[in-house]
Amino acid sequence: MPSYASNSGQKESLYDETVSSDFILSLTASGGLRFELPFLGRGMLGDLGVRWHRNGEADYVSSEGVVYSGTGEPVITPTRSEADFLVYRLGIVIPLGGGNVTVQP
């Protein structure tokens, strides 16, 4: 941190501890649908999908977990919570290329 932004007027470094590393077993599952969109042209597809990530509990530091106490040393409080999440996908698949591909034996 530059000296003008610190409480002591001296150049300070923030905590040197790694706060974003956590080894956890992660499982994932996904599914979706692709379907033809004839009103947009030949070969155009709609794409809908979802992916589920199961991560279990993880430690992390959010922006609310860093508090400057006025002594020049920040107080860092990690949070431990479930880290599972869902990713939704909605899109259009646009084919690139100039035509049909023919494979000959």
Please give the model's pTM, rounded to 2 decimal places.
0.51
pLDDT in tens, 79-99: 888 889 999 999 988 878 655
Which stretches of the chain drop beneath a pLDDT of 70?
1-22, 97-105
Rg of the chain over Cα atoms, rounded to whole angstroms, equals 25
pLDDT score of 1 = 45
9 within some domain? no
> How many domains does the chain contain in total?
1
pLDDT score of 88 = 97
Degrees, nearest 5: CA angle 5-11-74: 65
50 within some domain? yes
Degrees, nearest 5: CA angle 35-37-40: 155
pLDDT score of 66 = 87
69 within some domain? yes
99 within some domain? no
